[in-house]
Amino acid sequence: MNRGARAATSLWPWLLAAVVLGPALLGRGYVLTYDMVWVPDLALRPDLLGTGTALPRAVPSDAVVALLDELVPGMLLQRLVLYGALVAAALGTRRLVGRSLPAQWVAMTAAIWNPFVAERLVIGHWPVLLGYAALPWLALAAGRARRTGVVPAALPLLLVAGSLSASAGLVSALVVLVFGLRRGGGRATARLLACVVAANLPWLVAGLTHASAAVADPDGARLFGTQPEGSLPAPLAALTLGGIWNAEVVPGSRSTWLAWTSLVVLVVLAVLGRRAFLATTPDAPRWLVVGGLGLAVALVGWASPATVGWLGEQVPGLGLLRDSTRMLALLVPVEAALLAAGAAVVVGRARDAQWVVAPALVVVPVLLLPDLAWGGFGALRPVSYPASYAVVRDAVEERASTGPGGDLLVLPFTAYRAPEWNGLRSVLDPLGRHLTPDHVASDVLLVGGTEVAGEDPRGPRVLDALALPAAPERAAALASLGVRFVATDDSVRLGEEENDLLRPDVPGDPVVSSGELRVVELARPTPSSTPVATAVALGAAWTVWLGWPLGALLLTLRRRHRARGGTGG
């Protein structure tokens, strides 16, 4: 490979990721789409560490963002995370294929341009994408640990990046264990297990402290399980890396003949490249095991929703299985490597036509999913928050610095909004994250017209308080639940009945009113406190999580220093 070809190959994922993200990288503002809610300055507050009553779904990702946006502006940080995840996924997948130039280009294209990435981008699951990006690198590092008996210094850092949510942590842990464990591994095996546990401690411990609430609505297994896409049945949708539960984030091309064509291309190239895959991909059999597990778990909820629903209702924590297509992250590198191996075989047989066949194979994933281009045809456009958000934040922060503690409640008490200033795109309520106090949020979801119950025990109590007939009674009941501030967003359009239920009048001492936002302070909120045992457990978990990557790095440097000293002596 000449120098120009090497440079072009290295630049390709950077260019392709830019084409995918498009408007998300340009202009000012934040990409706000479904679960992706970034704010100018996310305050590091107790509920981000897992002390709140809600399940710790955003632990440790929110706390990491709150720390990093003190160093890097949130607007820039969001772009770095999204762009870096796509590029890292492509560069890591490139390491899984041989020296064939067409294979490397196809592998990187398939790693970035696929339905899994498209759907997770639009639904806003950036920690899942970071976990996916880390998988090839984790496999290589864990494989090295298995062969040498020494855990590479990069492994703890990769595990941290790949474990910023519970589902991402499970996927990363599985890859490390499958690629890193060996018979009679002894201390090396113990170190790998310690790394896996330490990387996931914040959400594990926070989840254990919420065990009584960590049971899921049994209907969720059916509603959140793998879904068909167009005429493509659910198993085939999953095999082609789609099948997400939210039809609103599925690219339109997945409902056309292009989805079936992608299945045919996948099968043909995988059959052609199976031998080359086994010969060139490091630890190929283990990758097949990992990919098979990812596909199997993705289909469990579809195959037996009643069983998964019962498990989620009875066993705390197993509600993680309900959005099962997250596990397809394990399958993407396998399919990308198989496609690359098959492409190398086709190019090798093309002989004189290689210069035409090779570029054609590289752009096949793009042609089969054209609506991923330019931020999903504009679905990832950044927007600026209304000026009223900054005004309200300053006023609430000043008032919260004095007086009793207490939480924030945002009305209407619904999980998602579709603000006009966000182009009517759905997004988790951003106001609660924009302000500084801990906030009580609704976790009730509406999927296909069916309401899926939330897990936060305070949610139903808040609804009961809002349903009281007299406004003073509502204020007193909310204060007894630990609510000090009530912020009302009048820009959210509701029907009359919904408005009475979810945005009734709650009287209090006015704090600020700006634009369509207004905040009042309730009298004598009941102070809430974290049990001592919970605080100690979470404190220990976060201390280990923050300290162990640094400790692993220092241990590696010390080992290298000793090795140099021994050689020199």
For the cut 70, the answer to whether the pLDDT of residue 278 exceeds it is yes
Is 98's pLDDT higher than 50?
Answer: yes
- Torsion from C-alpha of 470, 472, 478, 481, nearest 10 degrees: -110
Cis ω on the peptide bond leading into residue 412 (within 30° of 0)?
yes
pLDDT in the model for residue 565: 64
pLDDT the model gives residue 167: 94
Q: Span 96-120, mean pLDDT?
A: 96
Strand blocks (E) in 199-312 = none
Q: pLDDT for 286-303, tens place per residue?
A: 999 999 999 999 999 898
The answer to whether 487 and 431 are in contact (CB under 8 A) is yes
CB-CB neighbours of 73 under 10 Å: 12
Lowest mean pLDDT among 40-44, 401-405, 463-467: 401-405
11-25, 108-122, 332-346, 444-458: least confident range = 444-458
Average pLDDT across the chain, whole number: 91
Question: Average pLDDT of 307-320?
Answer: 70
* Cβ–Cβ < 8 Å for 536, 544: no
pLDDT at 405: 86
15 pLDDT above the threshold of 80: yes
For 172-192, write each residue's pLDDT tens digit: 999 999 999 988 767 888 889
Give the three-state DSSP class for 488. Answer: strand
Given this model, what pLDDT does residue 568 score? 43
Residues paired with residue 521 on neighbouring β-strands, in sequence order: 485, 509
Helix ranges restricted to H, 369-491: 373-378, 387-400, 431-434, 458-466, 471-480
Q: Is 416 helix (H, G, I), strand (E, B) or coil?
A: strand
Give tens-digit pLDDT for 25-78.
998 999 999 999 999 999 999 999 998 888 888 999 999 999 999 999 999 999
Q: What is the pLDDT of residue 567?
A: 46
**pLDDT above 90 coverage of the chain, percent:** 74
Mean of pLDDT values over 261-266: 98
175 or 441, higher pLDDT: 175
In which band, very low, low, confident or very high, does the pLDDT at 330 lie, cut at 50, 70 and 90?
Answer: very high
How high is the pLDDT of residue 569? 37
In SS3 terms, 317-366 reads as CHHHHCCHHHHHHHCHHHHHHHHHHHHHHHHHHHHHHHHHHHHHHHHHHH
Least-confidence region, from 36-40, 115-119, 184-188, 280-284: 184-188
Query: How far is residue 194's CA from residue 87's CA, in Å, rounded to a whole number?
Result: 29
Confidence of residue 446 (pLDDT cuts 50, 70, 90): confident
In this predicted structure, which of 81-85, 222-226, 298-302, 461-465 has the lowest mean pLDDT? 222-226
